Structure 1
Amino acid sequence: MGGNGVNGVNGTVAAGWERVREEFEAFAAAEPHSPEAQLAVHHRGRRVVDLWAGEDTDGDTLSGVFSITKGAAHLVVALLVQDGTLELDRSVSAYWPEFTGYGKERLTLRQLISHQSGLINVEEGFDYEGIADDALIASRLAGQKPYWEPGTAYGYHAFVIGALTGEVVRRATGRSIQEVYEERVRAPYGLDLYMGLPASQEGRWKPVLEMLPTPEQAAAQAAAGPVPELLAVAFNWHREPPMDLVTHANHPRTRELGPASAGGIGSARGVAALYAAAIGEVEGRAALLKPETATEFARLQTPGQEVLTGEWDHFGLGFEQQHAVGPLAFGHCGAAGGQGFADPVSGIAYGYTRRRFGFPGGIAPENGRLTAAVLEVARGL
């Protein structure tokens, strides 16, 4: 388990990768509270880093990974585009006729999966059972008026993007995005990253833990003022009471249904193996994506400023840009602080998870140091 004190680090690294362990140990020692974190890294298909830190987390622990799930979901879309089942520049309404009105009928699949639809939520929001149900979300959003004209701007569809793209997948294949993921990705590669946790794995699940900010962090958060209105809508905070992210991640319906936006359950091993399988051979199995598909999905689709978070040049096709890694890298972070990405150039597949919600939420700052250490070793090799 955790061992070696409250933030003790356990696990292994391959010869030559000790620099990454040193960085992980330094981060864990500096944390004011046990992070309950995991780090796994593959290099050219071989796992070279397998570490964890905390009192109640080991390498096998499964927990909510929030928006890291979007990477798994959009890998399914990439596979279906690669197969010719889906066409990026075809209108969404060609697959989903009810998706119409307010300019939605002109929106292409390319624009949808790069967060340009404006359908960030419904006016009244969703309760915990509703936000876990992709089919319900899709049916409610099909006739919804967008928050901006589709295709004219982009903003983070935090809890609904997987339902929207998932409905296109269902209309095109007759299968849910969760079913296609299980059949084509998770089961064949034996990944510890689930969209819908099987009952047989419940014993390995442990809950996401609340953020415990330091007094200085709490003061900084209070001084930042209220959340911008559209951002609150996207995160389902505009309803009363506002949705609590930790409660959502730990809700039984989230675990059961595996909503494709932010409801996955997994480990760092599962996240890293997902991205390793995306770009290269793993244990004799061919890469899921052809190089040209990976390049297309990594390429920037949304130049300019994002209307909700204010970030710049944020999305490829469903995946977040990985500016610190390289132009061909693609991945997605998670609200508690986790991160996953693949980099075809260096051959790195990276998975990092936290059960203890990190401050201030979103990709945790230690990922910068960990990623830099990983890339330093990989490039040296």
Structure 2
Amino acid sequence: MTRLQRSAKNIHGTVADGFEAVRKEFAAFVAEELPDYEGQLCAYVHGRRVVDLWAAGDDADVGPESLYGVYSSTKGAAHLVVALLVQEGTLELDRKVTYYWPEFSAEGKGALTLRELLAHRAGVVGTDSGFTARELADDRQIAERLADQRPLWRPGTAFGYHGLVIGALTGEVVRRATGRTLQEVYEERVRAPYGLDLFLGLPAAHEPRFRTAQPMAPTPEQRALLDARPGGPHTLEAIAFNTHAAEPTDLELLPNDPLVRAKGPASVGGVGSARGLAGLYAAAISEVDGKAPLLKEDTAAEFGQLHSVGYDVVLRMHKAYGLGFQATADTWYPFLGAGAFGHSGAGGCQAFADPRSGLAYGYTRRRCAFPGAAAPENHRLAAAVHRAALASR
């Protein structure tokens, strides 16, 4: 049996008419990754599920209901909550953060607006001494410590990825404005009504569905590239990813911490499936099962609009952010329409909405992919889905 034949045997699920090329592309990729690849791919177009595929190797326990750590794709769920509250007038983007959270004014942060905070311009990517593992699992503790933190650049003058903390910062604004945690609002307003398999706080009853995250397994050539990356124990990147702390954070293993899964920190602690990720963005922009889109067109356009684009001072590379979301077309996939928004995750997952084509996309994998963030295969898979979506009009 050839690798492609074995791959085809291990691919499960369905695609709608006109999306057969997506299944072929997925099978071709899986053939390259055998024998231990495990992952899921799901997509909606105008609220209709058109791709629902998964590959499980020889493990019969894996299916579309299996749950994975989604790392920073959690930020998409978190900031959909913020978008809803802005749409309703509960939050105002151009108000100062201190209007909602007075303590945040310490150390010269008082002029920062909610819009600037969402665009990764606050300059408080971490703390001088770092967080403990228990603190990183708890957004309230992160927010309390960052309120007193001196910013690492003048707020509003530059931008850099607040990878482990942005959800705690915006979540504290949500809590002050509503009296509810961001996780509670998400559960009540988004996850439960749509039955999404994307949790910000995994209930104990769903723990058996969780698949333990597997660390990246780089080739010798890839390991050399990782080892050659510039940096040190006191750089912005080290502070942002908590590798300077007394208990350095191993990002790849965060979902394996039961406390992280239970509390669902809004930056990185989500647990879900490709169905859950794609369903989130389908609900954001499309009518799904008779329910109106969560976001009005103007709201989706504003949150997907470029707000910070250029040199990211934390990641030291070109990046583009909307409000809480990555600008997906600029950052990842230039074939998408202007205003596409979403968020990748360190383990390789990807999720986004492209309002112009009506596409909502979700992808997960168990083993973390080199070099981190959206796994490279997403480019070919997303392109195949997008082509089919355009042809289906």
- TM-score w.r.t. the length of structure 1 is 0.96
Question: Following TM superposition, by how much is the alpha carbon of 1:215 offset from its aligned partner in structure 2, in angstroms?
Answer: 2.4
Aligned length: 379
Answering whether residue 224 of structure 2 is matched by residue 219 of structure 1, we say yes
**In 1, Cα distance between the equivalents of 2:232 and 2:141?**
27
Letter of the 2:85 partner, please give it. Answer: L
Alignment of 1:333-352 (within 5 A): 333-352=344-363
Kindly indicate whether the alpha-carbon contact (under 8 Å) linking 1:60 and 1:267 is maintained by their aligned counterparts in 2. yes
Answering whether residue 107 of structure 2 is matched by residue 105 of structure 1, we say no
SS in 1 for 2:162: coil
**In 2, Cα distance between the equivalents of 1:7 and 1:193?**
28
**In 2, Cα distance between the equivalents of 1:9 and 1:238?**
42
Kindly indicate whether the alpha-carbon contact (under 8 Å) linking 1:7 and 1:54 is maintained by their aligned counterparts in 2. no
**In 2, Cα distance between the equivalents of 1:138 and 1:195?**
17
**In 2, Cα distance between the equivalents of 1:244 and 1:25?**
31
SS in 2 for 1:351: strand
Q: Deviations over 1:205-238 (max 9, x none)?
A: 1111111112222233233354682111111111
Letter of the 2:385 partner, please give it. Answer: V
Give the corresponding residue for 2:389: 378
**In 2, Cα distance between the equivalents of 1:225 and 1:104?**
29
SS in 1 for 2:107: coil
Give the corresponding residue for 2:45: 43
Give the corresponding residue for 2:36: 34
**In 2, Cα distance between the equivalents of 1:7 and 1:311?**
40
Any unmatched runs of 5+ in structure 2? none
Give the corresponding residue for 2:300: 294
**In 1, Cα distance between the equivalents of 2:288 and 2:225?**
44
Answering whether residue 365 of structure 2 is matched by residue 354 of structure 1, we say yes
SS in 2 for 1:107: coil
Give the corresponding residue for 2:183: 178
Give the corresponding residue for 1:315: 321
Q: Deviations over 1:99-145 (max 9, x none)?
A: 11232110000000111111101111112211010000001111110
Answering whether residue 149 of structure 2 is matched by residue 144 of structure 1, we say yes
- CA, structure 1 residues 363+86, in 2 after alignment: closer, same or farther (shift >3 Å)? same
With 32-41 and 275-284 compared, the bigger mean Cα shift is at: 32-41
Kindly indicate whether the alpha-carbon contact (under 8 Å) linking 1:7 and 1:53 is maintained by their aligned counterparts in 2. no
**In 1, Cα distance between the equivalents of 2:8 and 2:301?**
42
**In 1, Cα distance between the equivalents of 2:318 and 2:209?**
38
Give the corresponding residue for 1:274: 280
**In 1, Cα distance between the equivalents of 2:133 and 2:12?**
35
SS in 2 for 1:333: coil
Alignment of 1:254-269 (within 5 A): 254-269=260-275
**In 2, Cα distance between the equivalents of 1:149 and 1:119?**
10
- CA, structure 1 residues 370+7, in 2 after alignment: closer, same or farther (shift >3 Å)? same
SS in 2 for 1:50: strand
Q: Identify which of 230, 240, 243 aligns with 1:237.
A: 243
SS in 2 for 1:169: helix
Question: Following TM superposition, by how much is the alpha carbon of 1:326 offset from its aligned partner in structure 2, in angstroms?
Answer: 2.0
Alignment of 1:160-175 (within 5 A): 160-175=165-180
Q: Identify which of 307, 329, 332 aligns with 2:343.
A: 332
Identity of matched residues, %? 58
Give the corresponding residue for 1:303: 309
Q: Deviations over 1:177-200 (max 9, x none)?
A: 000000000000000000000112
**In 2, Cα distance between the equivalents of 1:246 and 1:366?**
19
Q: Deviations over 1:312-334 (max 9, x none)?
A: 35100000011221212100000
Q: Deviations over 1:78-114 (max 9, x none)?
A: 0000000000000000100111123211000000011
Kindly indicate whether the alpha-carbon contact (under 8 Å) linking 1:7 and 1:35 is maintained by their aligned counterparts in 2. no
With 320-329 and 75-84 compared, the bigger mean Cα shift is at: 320-329
**In 2, Cα distance between the equivalents of 1:289 and 1:183?**
16
Q: Identify which of 119, 135, 153 aligns with 2:124.
A: 119
Any unmatched runs of 5+ in structure 1? none
Aligned-residue CA RMSD in angstroms?
1.7
With 142-151 and 165-174 compared, the bigger mean Cα shift is at: 142-151
SS in 1 for 2:102: coil
Letter of the 1:54 partner, please give it. Answer: A
- CA, structure 1 residues 380+225, in 2 after alignment: closer, same or farther (shift >3 Å)? same
Kindly indicate whether the alpha-carbon contact (under 8 Å) linking 2:310 and 2:318 is maintained by their aligned counterparts in 1. yes
Structure 1 runs (4+) deviating above 6 angstroms are none
Letter of the 1:276 partner, please give it. Answer: A
SS in 2 for 1:150: coil
With 137-146 and 222-231 compared, the bigger mean Cα shift is at: 222-231
